[in-house]
Chains A and B, each alone.
Chain A
């Protein structure tokens, strides 16, 4: 099946043709997809070799001259390894770039922990002004890549994954989308976890918001959803559990609320295997999600029933 990453090089190659501001910087990873684009635009497709500090630093330099750089490698080498370059060469220099990562939290479990980056979004949360897109389908990835490149000189992170939902949803590069409405809680499903979340909440009376742009966090959509579904909130994120807990709490700061944060655990599993095994090990498969979400919203229902009896 076509992956989000299969879309990346063709989409950005077209953007290179259409917009003379666009430039691509690679650090070996992903270079084959840009062979033809590099032939057409030899000065705007640059492979710096296996040098990730230079990847980000040179990207910032391109931006200082007025270009719109798109930087790509695995998430661990794009955000974690050169984090100070992301902080200083982009943020402190006050220039923008589009960072497009692959491999996400656990796309290649057989590759082990060195190629996993569950903390990428949490790390970017320590910085100001980042837009973070987490598509859940190749079509959404294409749309969000276009949004990202077109976003002026903004700092934008696009997190591509091999995990995908069965079908795509319209994305606007900004807000959450209501895919289901209920009265006993709000579940925010981020990107590729949506299918498992929808399977998990079948028969539960909950609202499901689908988030493909997680920063800025769509506080307004969450607040509106709680007006009819109550203020029990479950976050299901395909990266570090709890990454958006603070954002959800801030959105509901003036009302009593509860937040259950589900996502990838901190503990290193030290297991190989496949994606499905790792999703299950982190409790993010539909069956585990059903237990955890059902238990959380069910507590309130039980408490309510007990209060009614007394």
Chain B
């Protein structure tokens, strides 16, 4: 059976818990496992212009999952949207499965980067945005998802500080803020992006309409950061 045949039909938001359950063995998931779920769903369902039929289209939007830990929600969304067959999900983390506990772009259709070590996605996304611009591809948008504690890594700040002054308007970051950073100040995340000239908006990371509005806010001449606040990891 080919990949295309296996993919079969796509699934809706209501089926995501079942798809995640194929990996975790339980359809009930705590906030940590689903912290990224709603942002990912809104992106793949309504924002990103990328399809499983044309995963290598030069004009596609790029989504880079930088926070590679806990990728069940990501795989569930990729399965729901037909990038990977749902039949792959039960093998999660096993030797013969392409679906590891951190995603690998070489193994998983639709995955733009391998991640796991924190702080790599945003610098790579800067390069992707530069590379698309250099080739006259001005339409594709580049999205990168990071966690609030991931922003501890200094490499992010090299990217944030460069992208604003460089005017990388096609670059977008969604920060899933589940208050998991040990050392943080209220408002610190948006302040950091704004100080570098980014457009920012903070929203309820469970509210699909608010996420959609934040993701599609105009930000001419500047990169855009969406801070999606969800339940605290420690709660």
Contacts and interface: CB of A to CB of B under 8 A. Distances in A.
Contacts of A61: 123-131
A90 B118 CA distance: 15
Interface in A30-50: 43-44, 46, 48-49
B182 interface: no
A259 interface: no
A23 to B, nearest CB: 6
Nearest to A61: B127
A44 B134 CA distance: 6
A248 to B, nearest CB: 32
Interface stretch (B25-33, B75-83, B155-163, B172-180): B155-163
A54 B155 contact: yes
A134 interface: no
Contacts of B73: none
Given A64-B112, A85-B123, A48 B131 contact: no
B134 A43 contact: yes
A224 interface: no
A53 B127 CA distance: 12
Contact of A67 (B113, B134, B159, B162): B134
Given A54-B159, A92-B114, A85 B127 contact: no
Interface in A264-310: none
B8 interface: no
Nearest to B126: A58
Contacts of A56: 123
A60 to B, nearest CB: 5
Interface in B96-146: 104-106, 112-114, 117, 119-120, 122-135, 137
A19 B42 CA distance: 39
Given A43-B134, A48-B158, A49-B162, A57 B117 contact: no
The residue in A23, A54, A67, A84 that gathers the most chain B C-beta atoms within 10 A of its C-beta is A54
Nearest to B121: A57
A233 to B, nearest CB: 38
Interface residues of A, number: 31
B131 A94 contact: no
A66 interface: yes
Contacts of B124: 57-58, 60-61, 64, 89, 93
A103 to B, nearest CB: 21
Given A54-B159, A57-B155, A43 B58 contact: no
Given A62-B134, A84-B117, A54 B123 contact: yes
B154 interface: yes
A58 B134 contact: no
B101 to A, nearest CB: 15
Nearest to B133: A43
A66 B58 contact: yes
The residue in A23, A48, A66, A94 that gathers the most chain B C-beta atoms within 10 A of its C-beta is A48
A242 interface: no
A123 interface: no
B130 A46 contact: yes
A179 interface: no
A88 interface: yes
Contacts of B158: 48-49, 51, 53-54, 57
Contact of B113 (A58, A65, A93): A93
A67 B117 CA distance: 24
A57 B105 contact: no
A90 to B, nearest CB: 10
A57 B137 CA distance: 20
A54 B126 contact: yes
A85 B130 contact: no
A59 interface: yes
A93 B128 contact: no
Contacts of B106: 94
A195 B106 CA distance: 45
Contact of A65 (B114, B120, B131): B131
A49 B158 CA distance: 9
A65 B131 CA distance: 6
Contacts of B120: 57, 85, 88-89
Contacts of B105: 93-94
B119 to A, nearest CB: 8
A51 B163 CA distance: 12
Nearest to A49: B162
Given A58-B162, A67-B135, 16 more contacts: A43-B130, A51-B162, A53-B119, A54-B155, A57-B159, A60-B124, A61-B127, A62-B130, A64-B112, A64-B113, A65-B135, A65-B137, A88-B114, A88-B117, A89-B123, A92-B114
User: 5 smallest A-B Cβ distances: which pairs?
Assistant: A61-B127, A57-B123, A65-B131, A58-B127, A51-B158
14 contacts: A48-B158, A53-B123, A53-B158, A54-B159, A58-B123, A58-B127, A61-B131, A62-B134, A64-B131, A65-B132, A65-B135, A66-B58, A93-B105, A94-B106
